[in-house]
Structure 1
Amino acid sequence: QAAIRAEDESATQFEVITAAAWLYFAQQQVDVAVVEVGLGGRLDATNVCLQPLVTIITSISREHWQQLGPTLADIAREKAGILKPGCAVVVGPLPPEAEKVVRSRALELQCPIFTPQPAGEIASGWAECKTIQNSKLIKYPLPLVGQIQLTNSALALAALEILQQQGWQISEEAIINGMAKTKWPGRMQWTTWKNHKLLLDGAHNTAAAQVLRQYVDSLDVVNHKPVNWVMGMFSDKDHTDIFAALLRPGDRLFLVPIPVEPWPGRTSANLQELANLAYSLCPELSDRQIHPDLFTALEAATSTATTDDLIVLCGSLYLVGDFLQMGIGNRE
């Protein structure tokens, strides 16, 4: 607060929080800080670190195109702004047009680029991954569910290996323990609501929606049964592609607004427009409903569902956060 003068143009909330984070990291003398960009990369408030230990680009999909540019190549160009001269970069699977941009920028800045293969699932809750240096196999517990976590964990391991090569003392035991303790609230998180199983997932862009549907389709409980979707989305999201990824004939859709008061500048999507769009994309939906809030939507979804039917709450991290703050679910 002391650094912001009243006569100056105010920094954004994210810029203020980011500045506070850097100050806190310095005060606590952290060994390593893992810093995730807020939007894009090149012009992001987090991108003030001139010599990161390693940079990571996990995935790129069409999100925030209003600010970053209309194409995946445009978005990739902004994401690649976190690359720094000579600094190693770990890259996950990218669409071809995005990968071309990232590789070109890495070559220009002489950044060693690493693209690890996804880990393999060796048992329920366990995975194994080859190191990038000598292809040694590391076996570790993987509490997070879904095929995408095999990719994510491989990227994390590659980043850790690069730190090890720089002299950081990170034991295999520490890595295994770290993986075992990994938690990600609101990401493929199982809970219960009024004796019904409920799956929570932020899934606020196309890529995340595709990952969510892939996981849902892998569940025995689904087995070609309809899914009950309780959804809310912000107005600036790619509603068409998200619905196309998620909705299937026979599914039921319960639409809710996102409480936007704490989020200045964001508006919840028009629910009637969402309902019309969902019907145009999937006219075989067995039901479409609009509800004034999350509580009534969950009441409606559970009132006609059996205890074996799958109910998924998704479409926005803020909506999932709203559910978790309500304190009405029990984590499993």
Structure 2
Amino acid sequence: MESLGHFGVDLSLERMQVLLQRLGQPQAGIPVIHVAGTNGKGSVCAWVSHVLWAAGYRVGRYTSPHLVHWRERIWLRGEYISTEDWSQSLAQVRDTLQSYPPDEPSPTQFEVVTAAAWLYFRQQAVEVVVLEVGLGGRLDATNAGIDPIVTAITSIGWDHWQRLGNSLPQIASEKAGILKPGIPLVCAPQTPEVMAVIQAKAEALGIPVQVVQPLEWVGPQTVRWQGLSLCLPLTGDVQLINGAVALGIVERLRQQGWSIPDAAVKKGFDLTRWPGRLQRVQIGSQVLLMDGAHNLPAAQALRRYLDETQPGPLTWYIGILSTKDVSGILSTLLRPGDRLFTLPIAGHSGMDPEQLAQLARERQPYLTHVQALPDLSAFLTQLSCPEASTAPPPVLCGSLYLLGQVMQECLRWDLAR
């Protein structure tokens, strides 16, 4: 992976279009359900792909980022891409890149992986692909040369402003760049300024827009939709919106003639798991709540969930990328009486734990304890020390990359087995 393409974000469709052309346009003609938004994209993709799988379709799914292994990004009918198929797809991209002229711009890692996914899906003769936007939408690699049959936009909030624009309408405009003429859009409820941008784009393209209403709980982890009782195993009220978007996509597919019986919807929702989102794991004697909460809207959703389920002081283990709204995330999450331990994010532009701890001391003087931890070994030691057994409940958050590292190193969790 390190030798194929350069790491980082460089929003443009040109490199991806050239790469797909040289690979023989593997994505051409494959029906796509394209999902953009700030938060909830992965959950929506997980639900829709499981419902289509339960309905008997040969469905592929492409999401990002991964938690433990790159192969998690590419999924087909209940299984991640095998090591052999992953290697073969990457090798085919590599061979194509080796034929590039010296002055040809090289693709990014994300573009390479996206191209490898399309090669795999073509080789596996998928009937439909559920495709998550990587960043933004208009210039994202997933938006190159595809044939969507439904598009969807989950909740839009303040994130990646450095690349998408320094206002919510600008960010919304970039995400609405996935809309295609005449292709229906399923949309989560948005703020008026965001909705105005999406509606204007949709009207210009002649697109029918379905703005979903959040589902409602009718029992523990249970909602009702069109007379069906559905299990919502993904925790938190924010999933009432994400679940509604997923079901809105199902409804649109049914209108287009896709055979998705009620039993498949029910089974698909029952089967869906999406690690790293309000997930509780056992480490030693401690039960740790893990959640990505990698931007301000996600932090707000996590805080609402905790206010409802675990009021009172908490012990936080937090690592945050330096490109995020660090101050906003900390002020949203932390409360008087809380304890905070800051963590590094290996291999990524994480904020230095000492700097993060110092920022918290300055902005949140009401914390009872603040300490920077140098690595995950120190995290494990702290989590299992005698003092921790009587401390407030522990929560790990701030980055999906951090969660993946904890899963791999501390839980020996092989998600890509």
TM-score by length of 2: 0.73
Work out whether residues 353 and 374 of structure 2, in 8 Å CA contact, stay in contact via their aligned partners in 1.
Answer: no
> Which residue of structure 1 aligns with residue 251 of structure 2?
161
Residue identity opposite 1:79 in structure 2: K
Does 1:305 pair with 2:408?
A: no
1:247-276 deviation digits (Å, cap 9, x = unpaired): 11111110011001xxxxx41212233223
> Which residue of structure 1 aligns with residue 333 of structure 2?
246
Work out whether residues 373 and 379 of structure 2, in 8 Å CA contact, stay in contact via their aligned partners in 1.
Answer: yes
Residue segments in structure 2 that go unaligned for 5+ positions in a row = 1-93
Distance in structure 1 (CA, Å) of the matches to 2:279 and 2:333 = 17
Distance in structure 1 (CA, Å) of the matches to 2:411 and 2:379 = 14
Distance in structure 2 (CA, Å) of the matches to 1:285 and 1:111 = 50
1:81-100 deviation digits (Å, cap 9, x = unpaired): 00000111111122322221
> Which residue of structure 2 aligns with residue 284 of structure 1?
366
> Which residue of structure 1 aligns with residue 411 of structure 2?
328
1:165/1:307 Cα in 2 relative to 1: closer, same or farther (>3 Å)?
farther
Distance in structure 2 (CA, Å) of the matches to 1:52 and 1:35 = 9
1:58/1:192 Cα in 2 relative to 1: closer, same or farther (>3 Å)?
same
1:295/1:327 Cα in 2 relative to 1: closer, same or farther (>3 Å)?
closer
Query: Structure 2 residue aligned with 1:32, among 128, 148, 162?
Result: 128
Does 1:113 pair with 2:209?
A: yes
> Which residue of structure 2 aligns with residue 171 of structure 1?
261
Work out whether residues 144 and 183 of structure 1, in 8 Å CA contact, stay in contact via their aligned partners in 2.
Answer: yes
> Which residue of structure 1 aligns with residue 239 of structure 2?
149
Work out whether residues 41 and 79 of structure 1, in 8 Å CA contact, stay in contact via their aligned partners in 2.
Answer: yes
1:30/1:73 Cα in 2 relative to 1: closer, same or farther (>3 Å)?
same
Secondary structure, counterpart of 1:305 in structure 2 = helix
Q: State the Cα distance separating 1:246 from its structure 2 match.
A: 0.6
Residue identity opposite 1:44 in structure 2: D
Work out whether residues 256 and 291 of structure 1, in 8 Å CA contact, stay in contact via their aligned partners in 2.
Answer: yes
Work out whether residues 83 and 89 of structure 1, in 8 Å CA contact, stay in contact via their aligned partners in 2.
Answer: yes
Q: How does 1:96-245 map to 2 (within 5 A)?
A: 96-129=192-225, 136-219=226-309, 222-224=310-312, 226-245=313-332
Q: State the Cα distance separating 1:281 from its structure 2 match.
A: 2.9
Distance in structure 1 (CA, Å) of the matches to 2:392 and 2:271 = 30
Work out whether residues 186 and 320 of structure 1, in 8 Å CA contact, stay in contact via their aligned partners in 2.
Answer: yes
Distance in structure 2 (CA, Å) of the matches to 1:237 and 1:43 = 21
Residue identity opposite 1:98 in structure 2: V
Moved more, 32-41 or 308-317: 308-317
1:175-217 deviation digits (Å, cap 9, x = unpaired): 1000001101111111011111101111100111111111111
> Which residue of structure 1 aligns with residue 95 of structure 2?
2
Work out whether residues 230 and 298 of structure 1, in 8 Å CA contact, stay in contact via their aligned partners in 2.
Answer: no
> Which residue of structure 1 aligns with residue 377 of structure 2?
295
Higher relative contact order (CA 8 A, sep 6+): 2
Secondary structure, counterpart of 1:119 in structure 2 = coil
Aligned length: 317
Distance in structure 2 (CA, Å) of the matches to 1:50 and 1:232 = 36
Moved more, 279-288 or 188-197: 279-288
1:243/1:308 Cα in 2 relative to 1: closer, same or farther (>3 Å)?
closer
Distance in structure 1 (CA, Å) of the matches to 2:413 and 2:135 = 32
Q: State the Cα distance separating 1:15 from its structure 2 match.
A: 0.3
1:99/1:271 Cα in 2 relative to 1: closer, same or farther (>3 Å)?
same
Work out whether residues 189 and 212 of structure 2, in 8 Å CA contact, stay in contact via their aligned partners in 1.
Answer: no
Work out whether residues 51 and 87 of structure 1, in 8 Å CA contact, stay in contact via their aligned partners in 2.
Answer: no
Moved more, 274-283 or 170-179: 274-283
Select the structure that is richer in helix: 2
Work out whether residues 190 and 199 of structure 1, in 8 Å CA contact, stay in contact via their aligned partners in 2.
Answer: yes
Residue identity opposite 1:228 in structure 2: T
Work out whether residues 203 and 212 of structure 1, in 8 Å CA contact, stay in contact via their aligned partners in 2.
Answer: yes
Secondary structure, counterpart of 2:249 in structure 1 = helix
Residue segments in structure 1 that go unaligned for 5+ positions in a row = 130-135, 261-265
